[in-house]
Amino acid sequence: MKNGKISAQKLNFIIAVCAILISSASFYATYLQADAANKQVKAMTLPLLQFSTGNWNSDLKKKQLTFTLKNAGLGAAIIKNINFIYKNKKYYSLTKYLHACCEQGISLLSEHKREIENEESLITSKLVDTILAGQQSNEFLMLNSTQLTKPLWLSLNDERWKTKLEVCYCSLLDDCYITKENGVTKSIEECL
């Protein structure tokens, strides 16, 4: 530095260092913004499945057992598989679960299958390989209390408290989860 002046070489060096610092700060800010946007997209597409049961239809004012799977999240859930957990044993279908918990009531239903179908006392719907939109519910079992269904209704009404649902599902972004309790999910690689 002669006569209090900075040489051109030093000035170029200072400008280059400032440009690198500004570029680094800009890159970091862009990274933070992209990460925040990614988290926001995941939150907006996150499904959250919850299982509930009931034994009264307030609209119809009658005894009606229901098993419901609700997506309390915002994103759609692609349901890959479901296990009914009853007395610490897994059942891979609703039918197998019903036979395990309520054999006497199920065998009586088999004897009167046509009458029960005619009066629509027992209605079930498919869950596996379906899509449950955000904030939607699927009542996958509905059992009205009638003379023919009363043994099954009473048995299932007691045993539903001992029943948990384990659901493996994926979001539309192919993020997969397993839930064993209402709202308690665990992220997994894929549903088997």
pLDDT band at 4 (very low <50, low <70, confident <90, very high): low
Q: Which residue has the tokens 């029960």?
A: 116
**Digit-coded pLDDT (tens) for 17-52:** 999 999 999 999 888 898 888 878 777 889 999 999
Using DSSP's 3-state secondary structure scheme, residue 42 falls into: helix
Decide if 112 contacts 105 (C-beta within 8 A). Answer: no
Among candidates 77, 75, 80, 79, which has minimal Cα distance to 46?
75
Query: 103-111 and 94-101 are packed helices; what angle lies between their axes, rounded to 10 degrees?
Result: 110
Collapsed DSSP state (helix, strand, coil) of residue 175: coil
Q: Where are the domains of the chain?
A: 1-45, 46-188
Residue 61 has pLDDT above 70, yes or no: yes
Closest CA to 170 of 147, 187, 150, 184: 187
Region of 31 on the Ramachandran plot (φ > 0 left; ψ -120 to 50 alpha; else beta): alpha
Please state, in angstroms and as integers, the Cα–Cα distance from residue 25 to each residue in 28, 29, 30, following that order: 5, 6, 9
Of the pLDDT bands very low, low, confident and very high (cuts 50, 70, 90), residue 3 is low
CA 134 to mean position of chain CA atoms: 9
Residue 5 scores a pLDDT above 80:
no
Nearest of 149, 160, 157, 142 to residue 110 by alpha carbon: 149
Contact 185, 167 (CB under 8 A): no
Q: Please give the pLDDT value at position 115.
A: 79
The pLDDT mean for the chain works out to 90
Cβ-Cβ contacts under 8 Å for 145 (sequence gap 6 or more):
62, 63, 64, 65, 153
- The model's confidence at residue 184, banded by pLDDT at 50, 70 and 90, is confident
What percentage of the chain has pLDDT greater than the value 70?
Answer: 97
- 112 or 2: whose pLDDT is higher? 112
- DSSP 8-state symbol, 189: S
pLDDT grade, residue 71 (50/70/90)? very high
Model pLDDT for residues 80-137, shown as the tens digit of each residue:
999 999 999 999 999 999 999 998 888 877 777 777 777 788 889 999 999 999 999 9
Q: Which of 83, 49, 72, 88 is nearest to 170 (CA)?
A: 49
| pLDDT for residue 181 is more than 80 | no
∠ Cα 83 89 91 (to 5°): 35
User: Average pLDDT of 161-175?
Assistant: 94
Task: Give residue 2's pLDDT band: very low, low, confident or very high (50, 70, 90).
Answer: low
